[in-house]
């Protein structure tokens, strides 16, 4: 099964036995610093540096002036790690919101994973949680993110800082249209991360989907209210 974005739970980078230095380091550093170090190493120096910068900016609260999502956006792409939990639900929720608003114009909504295995079905927890929102992910099949998807999207939404760091590294020419989906929240949680529920349980998945629903309702309100038609 596709591993989730919580890299700290992935297998070690290699099988080399821990050196005395590494053993001492693990004893001295808090767990969260070891976690961040592991994420940096797995992302690599370029994406890792971007990830650390995003984390630092979040820690000091330097997110209030993030650019707004263009109101002319009509092609939306949601991105997560494996395209089996968060991003397919975000895709489905926005389609649901557009349907509720009886939009007649052409709007494209899709999702993909940075490390997806094409053809993977939605996670069982995703199937169960989605049903609570009157959404079926039974027919969903994961797809790997491509340069064409990025090129054709007006707005690209990442779920967490690792997603965004990788997107910015792989597609620097598209940085102006890469956003955190949480930027659509109001107040607490805005510009933060929407954590992967992969290592949680079905209730964690439901909570994640409630957050996604709020984001997509707000996005639809901002871009598709009568004033923006």
Q: Which residues form the catalytic set?
A: 80, 86, 196
Question: What's the N-to-C CA distance of the chain in angstroms?
Answer: 43
Give me the helices (H) in the chain, please.
20-28, 31-43, 45-59, 86-100, 124-131, 147-152, 161-170, 202-224
For the CA atoms of 219, 223, 224, 226, what is the dihedral angle to 10 degrees?
130
Residue 135 tokens, joined: 């959404």
What is the CA angle 227-179-173, rounded to 5?
110
Q: Which of 178, 183, 119, 182 is nearest to 149 (CA)?
A: 178
Angstrom distance (rounded) from CA 141 to CA 126: 12
């Amino acid at each position: 099964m596709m591993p989730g974005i919580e890299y700290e739970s992935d297998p070690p980078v290699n099988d080399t036995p821990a050196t005395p230095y590494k053993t001492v380091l693990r004893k001295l550093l808090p767990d969260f610093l070891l976690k961040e170090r592991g994420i940096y190493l797995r992302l690599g120096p370029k994406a890792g540096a971007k990830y650390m910068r995003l984390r630092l900016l979040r820690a000091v609260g330097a997110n209030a002036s993030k650019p707004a999502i263009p109101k002319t956006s009509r092609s939306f792409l949601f991105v997560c790690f494996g395209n089996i939990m968060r991003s397919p639900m975000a895709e489905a929720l926005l389609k649901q919101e557009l349907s509720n608003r009886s939009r007649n114009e052409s709007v494209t909504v899709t999702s993909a994973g940075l490390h997806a295995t094409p053809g993977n079905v939605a996670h069982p927890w995703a199937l169960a949680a989605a049903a609570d929102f009157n959404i079926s992910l039974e027919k969903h099949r994961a797809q790997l993110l491509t340069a064409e998807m990025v090129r054709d999207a007006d707005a690209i939404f990442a779920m967490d800082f690792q997603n965004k760091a990788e997107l910015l590294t792989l597609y620097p020419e598209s940085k102006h249209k890469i956003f955190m989906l949480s930027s659509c929240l109001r107040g607490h949680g805005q510009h933060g991360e929407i954590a992967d529920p992969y290592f949680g349980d079905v209730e964690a998945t439901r909570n994640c989907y409630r957050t996604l629903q709020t984001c997509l309702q707000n996005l639809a309100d901002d871009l598709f209210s009568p004033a923006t038609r």
